[in-house]
Amino acid sequence: MVLRLEEVTKSYSTSEGPLPVLRGVSLALEAGSSMALTGESGSGKSTLLHLAGGLDSADGGRIIIGDQDASALDDRGRAALRRHTVGLIFQQFNLIPSLDVAANLAFHARLAGRHDPYWVRSLAARLGLEPVLNRFPEQLSGGQQQRVAIGRTIAARPKLVLADEPTGNLDEATGETVMDVLLSLVRESGAALLMVTHSPRLAERLDRRVHLRGGRLA
């Protein structure tokens, strides 16, 4: 099992008092499998993704990422877990402006101690990034930046890939192509994928679908 959530709860404190967002969420994701997470705006999808990535801590329940109990780790422990096990593809690409595309693609893999130039080259080709390898992020279109963000994550061969609308900035045709590449790369590398999407059509393409409503999964 790559990710397991057991009865996870999470509230935020607001000026009007605590706002319960997750009221007992359980899920399990095996290596090589994919799950789509849908839910209305404000239902807690990003909150769930952040907890699953060890970016934040839950109030209750257990979160097992890889073979580690994230609920038992402090901030430093969770940072190390993220670096070695988790790949995040969020809407803000967070590319490094001073590095060209080739160096951005290799960056996380280097941090995780898993840089493989052949794998990076193959990813660049499949994501259509070869012509822009020597450009800097500010010289790329939004869609190209999104593809670099995806390639950079997969390059590090994370066991768990968490994605928030990873094709949200792309036109439909490019989005489909990038989704094809993302799904095949996730399968090939044996990773597990948890992906937030508003699109039922994209959700259909994943192995399983769960819907967040009222702080619980259905």
Ligand X SMILES: Nc1ncnc2c1ncn2[C@@H]1O[C@H](COP(=O)(O)OP(=O)(O)OP(=O)(O)O)[C@@H](O)[C@H]1O
Strand pairing class (34-39; 3-14): unpaired
Q: How far is the CB of 167 from ligand X (least distance, A)?
A: 15
Q: Does 125 bind ligand X (CB under 6 A)?
A: no
Which of 47, 85 has the CB closer to ligand X?
A: 47
Rounded Cα distance between 142 and 64, Å, is: 34
Binds ligand X by CB under 6 A, chosen from 39, 66, 158, 166: 39
- Interface stretch with ligand X, choices 38-46, 115-123, 142-150, 168-176 (CB under 6 A): 38-46
Rounded Cα distance between 130 and 143, Å, is: 14
Q: Does 42 bind ligand X (CB under 6 A)?
A: yes
Q: How far is the CB of 7 from ligand X (least distance, A)?
A: 18
Which CA distances in Å does 18 have to 57, 62, 105, 214?
16, 21, 40, 15
Q: How far is the CB of 44 from ligand X (least distance, A)?
A: 4
Binds ligand X by CB under 6 A, chosen from 1, 18, 19, 69: 19
Q: Does 51 bind ligand X (CB under 6 A)?
A: no
- Interface stretch with ligand X, choices 37-45, 120-128, 169-177, 184-192 (CB under 6 A): 37-45
Rounded Cα distance between 139 and 156, Å, is: 24
Rounded Cα distance between 214 and 39, Å, is: 10
Binds ligand X by CB under 6 A, chosen from 5, 8, 25, 45: 45
Q: Does 14 bind ligand X (CB under 6 A)?
A: yes
Q: Does 113 bind ligand X (CB under 6 A)?
A: no
Q: How far is the CB of 216 from ligand X (least distance, A)?
A: 13
Amino acid identity, position 25: V
Q: Does 41 bind ligand X (CB under 6 A)?
A: yes
As a three-state string, the secondary structure of 149-205 is HHHHHHHCCCCEEEEECCCCCCCHHHHHHHHHHHHHHHHHHCCEEEEECCCHHHHHC
Provide the 8-state DSSP code for 28.
E
- Interface stretch with ligand X, choices 25-33, 45-53, 101-109, 184-192 (CB under 6 A): 45-53
Tell me the longest C-alpha to C-alpha distance in the chain.
53
Q: Does 166 bind ligand X (CB under 6 A)?
A: no
Place of tokens 């997470």: 37
The footprint of ligand X (CB under 6 A) covers: 12, 14, 19, 21, 39, 41-47
